[in-house]
Structure 1
Amino acid sequence: MDTNLLMIGVAVMLGLIGVAASRDLLRRLRPQPRLVPIRIDERQRRSQDMRGR
């Protein structure tokens, strides 16, 4: 009886470790969005500052 419970416990723990590892692996394989820098012309920046005030 104790051996069966031990084997079930080991199987559950290995399953949980497998689920966590696969989620981490899938998250790393998914392409991550990257921020792209945008330049703003000085004239546009000044006009936006004037409108914002």
Structure 2
Amino acid sequence: MDTHLLMIGVAVMVGLIGIAASRDLLRRMRPQPRLVPVRIERPARRSRDISGM
């Protein structure tokens, strides 16, 4: 009887480890979003803006 409980416990532990490993692999295989630098071009200043009026 103790052997059966031990084997059930080992099977449950192996199953939990397998589930955790498969979730980790699936997460790593999913494409990760990458940050893309965006340049902001400011409009050219007019002579009126420079003089302060």
| TM-score (norm: length of structure 1) | 0.76
Query: Mind listing any 5+ residue stretches in structure 2 that lack a counterpart?
Result: 44-53
CA shift digits 1:2-38 (9 cap, x unpaired): 0000000000000000000000000000000101000
Aligned pairs, number: 43
Give aligned-pair identity as a percent: 81
Q: Report the counterpart of residue 34 of structure 2 in structure 1.
A: 34
Q: Report the counterpart of residue 25 of structure 2 in structure 1.
A: 25
Matched, 1:5 2:5: yes
4+ aligned runs moved over 6 Å, structure 1: none
Query: Mind listing any 5+ residue stretches in structure 1 that lack a counterpart?
Result: 44-53
| TM-score (norm: length of structure 2) | 0.76
Give the root-mean-square deviation of aligned CA atoms. Answer: 0.7
